[in-house]
Structure 1
Amino acid sequence: MTNKPAFFNNEETSGVDRVTNLTYEYFVNQYLKPCKPVVIKDATKNWIAHEVWDFTFFIKKYGNCQLQIDGKFYKFHDFIDLVMNANNNNPAPYLREMNIPINFPNLMFYLQPELQYTLPNRLTSKLLPKSFEKNWGMRKGMMELLIGGRGSGFPFLHYDLFKSHGFVTQIRGYKEFILYSPVESEYLYPMASKRDVSSIKSIESPDLDKFPLFTKAKPIKVLVREKESIFIPSGWWYITKILSPSIAVLINFINPDNWSNFIEEYCLSLGNFNIIKLKLRKTYLTAIGLLMSCQEHVKP
């Protein structure tokens, strides 16, 4: 007999389930396959990071390490100081796109066991071409460290790279997510040169003369608290607002359900639109996907 998840409904989540005790099978059938967001309160309950990680931890362990954020360089301890003193009028830089397995491999110890809902994750498959190691470190998995202060957040409306699925887990602090379904894409004005980014620079003060259809877009606002994880399905647009000093982890994953989306997005990102080469790339990655299917177990 399969345990049923417990549901929590309150004003902090509008249109998104907030659950606990969620089995892998229930997640796949009710959220993954339908591409439906969900907040899971206990997805990473065994991660040591929840007990150990705080801002003092990072200062002691990496204080003198140098970070590059938006083209500027900071010592880690100076960056943390900015985060702790940030506010809505004086936001700190937002550390993002920092691949943990590549840049901070020792942190992986604190993020075990693997998040079961992300398995099987084809981004960690040895069948991926070696060239993927140079492309955003994909062969080691796209697991990012996210640190920011009150008033900052992800700076533009987007969906995750190559239409990957994503899980964001809050280790410290509160964060608000503003989500838009893929069916709203026509109202969000994707950039011609970068389809995963909206041309609208600010969803709070959009230029409606330039983007009139944006008024039809229906946002979903979700508060994610410490120890909670939000599942953001393939192709869902979102932006974040940090409400208190925040440490979080983003895990992007590709599985059989969004492999075709990944192939399409990845091939187009390479910038060579020669029809023959494009078809060869797609055929090659489709074949790799078939090989992966032979190795994968549906249940981790």
Structure 2
Amino acid sequence: MKQEKLNLEQIPRVERISKEDFLRNYVQPQKPVVIEKLIENWPAYDKWNLDYIKKLAGNKEVPLYDNRPISSKYKFNEPHTYMKMADYIDLIKSGPTNYRIFLYHLMKEVPALQKDFRIPKIGLKIIKQVPMLFFGGENSKVFMHYDIDYANILHFHFHGKKQCILFGPEQSKYLYKVPHALIAREDINFENPDFDKFPVLRKAKGYIAELNHGESLYMPEGYWHHMTYKTAGFSMSLRAAPRTLTNFSKAVYNLIFMRHFDNYMRKLRGQKWIDYKNEQAIKRTHKKNEISL
């Protein structure tokens, strides 16, 4: 019996692209694309690997996250533990692990890394800030979510392979979005979903790609993304502000109200708030799609 899968098409790939083609074919229609050699002139293209990071930043203490479900014990994006970078790199090189580094300002901690990249002249008005880095061990996953600031994202991968599953914001009604949050239900396995429990996922239409070392993924604003490190590796993102007033307003709401409201309710109601939101994710999704509970 053939196993049922999500409806995913391959993200288009180009080796190189002009500013004009990138804006016309991907940014304006808000479609993702993998650019294979966008950063081949960066020093990072040749230099960045886990051993290089260990050499430059091995003594830095870094925040770690694992795959445990969100609970009232932790605030929004609060780390689960800490470790020296050298020890963490030894850990992920030794075999599979769930521990990831998420949204870490390593380049502020180690300014020498800032010399290894350049802002691509590709038509996006990149926010001039030191970019964050993301690390993961083999098989570690980043749950399905979209970014709080609705940014247009250029995501660059280094050392190994990373699988990316994307859905446009118009697919939100099919993804069991958790209310007052930026995530889908965490118990959904987007690589092998349970369609009996989450039948509306059959309606979702998304994209998939596998990033190799030095490749760049453009994710338009508000896109859902689920990442799986197929091998140990790390990534970097550059961001451009949302292009529409609607998405800019959503970003302001998320940053000013939603995040703080959710933290307040976790403190007030504890695990009951988390459980309520997860229940509502199913009820609201099924109601919108006229599926009886």
Report the TM-score when normalising by structure 1: 0.72
Whether the 8 Å CA contact 1:86–1:149 is kept in 2: the answer is: yes
Tell me how far apart the structure 2 counterparts of residues 46 and 62 of structure 1 sit (CA, whole Å).
23
1:62-73 paired onto structure 2 within 5 Å = 62-70=57-65, 71-73=80-82
What residue in structure 1 maps to residue 251 of structure 2? 265
Deviation at 1:263, TM superposition (A): 2.7
Deviation at 1:207, TM superposition (A): 5.6
Structure 2 counterpart of 1:97, which letter?
L
1:212-231 paired onto structure 2 within 5 Å = 212-231=199-218
Tell me how far apart the structure 2 counterparts of residues 261 and 120 of structure 1 sit (CA, whole Å).
16
- Helix, strand or coil: the match of 1:56? helix
Do structure 1's residue 37 and structure 2's residue 32 form an aligned pair? yes
1:127-146 paired onto structure 2 within 5 Å = 140=129, 143-146=131-134
Deviation at 1:33, TM superposition (A): 0.8
Tell me how far apart the structure 1 counterparts of residues 244 and 95 of structure 2 sit (CA, whole Å).
38
Counterpart of 1:59 (choices 46, 54, 57) is 54
Structure 1 204/225 Cα, relative in aligned 2: closer, same or farther at 3 Å?
closer
Deviation at 1:144, TM superposition (A): 1.7
Q: How many residues align?
A: 237
Tell me how far apart the structure 2 counterparts of residues 111 and 101 of structure 1 sit (CA, whole Å).
11
- Helix, strand or coil: the match of 1:157? strand
What residue in structure 2 maps to residue 120 of structure 1? 125
What residue in structure 1 maps to residue 115 of structure 2? 109
Tell me how far apart the structure 2 counterparts of residues 220 and 187 of structure 1 sit (CA, whole Å).
14
- Helix, strand or coil: the match of 2:108? helix
Whether the 8 Å CA contact 1:85–1:149 is kept in 2: the answer is: no
Do structure 1's residue 81 and structure 2's residue 90 form an aligned pair? yes
Whether the 8 Å CA contact 1:151–1:241 is kept in 2: the answer is: yes
Deviations 1:16-50 (A, max 9, x none): 22112311111011100100000101111111012
Runs of 5+ unmatched residues, structure 1:
1-12, 125-139, 273-300
Counterpart of 1:152 (choices 140, 153, 165) is 140
Q: Post-superposition, which runs of at least 4 consecutive aligned residues in structure 1 deviate over 6 A?
A: none
Structure 2 counterpart of 1:116, which letter?
K
Structure 2 counterpart of 1:105, which letter?
P
Tell me how far apart the structure 1 counterparts of residues 90 and 123 of structure 2 sit (CA, whole Å).
33
Tell me how far apart the structure 2 counterparts of residues 242 and 258 of structure 1 sit (CA, whole Å).
32
Whether the 8 Å CA contact 2:50–2:233 is kept in 1: the answer is: no
Do structure 1's residue 25 and structure 2's residue 20 form an aligned pair? yes
Tell me how far apart the structure 1 counterparts of residues 114 and 64 of structure 2 sit (CA, whole Å).
22
Whether the 8 Å CA contact 2:151–2:220 is kept in 1: the answer is: yes
Tell me how far apart the structure 2 counterparts of residues 81 and 15 of structure 1 sit (CA, whole Å).
33
Tell me how far apart the structure 2 counterparts of residues 101 and 179 of structure 1 sit (CA, whole Å).
27
Deviation at 1:189, TM superposition (A): 2.0
Tell me how far apart the structure 1 counterparts of residues 245 and 107 of structure 2 sit (CA, whole Å).
22
Structure 2 counterpart of 1:74, which letter?
M
Counterpart of 2:43 (choices 48, 56, 76) is 48
Most deviating of 185-194 and 246-255: 246-255
Structure 2 counterpart of 1:199, which letter?
R
Runs of 5+ unmatched residues, structure 2:
1-7, 66-79, 259-293
Whether the 8 Å CA contact 1:177–1:241 is kept in 2: the answer is: yes
Whether the 8 Å CA contact 1:163–1:258 is kept in 2: the answer is: no
Tell me how far apart the structure 1 counterparts of residues 91 and 23 of structure 2 sit (CA, whole Å).
40
What residue in structure 1 maps to residue 180 of structure 2? 193
What RMSD over aligned residues (CA atoms) do the two structures have, in Å?
A: 2.3
Tell me how far apart the structure 2 counterparts of residues 150 and 215 of structure 1 sit (CA, whole Å).
28
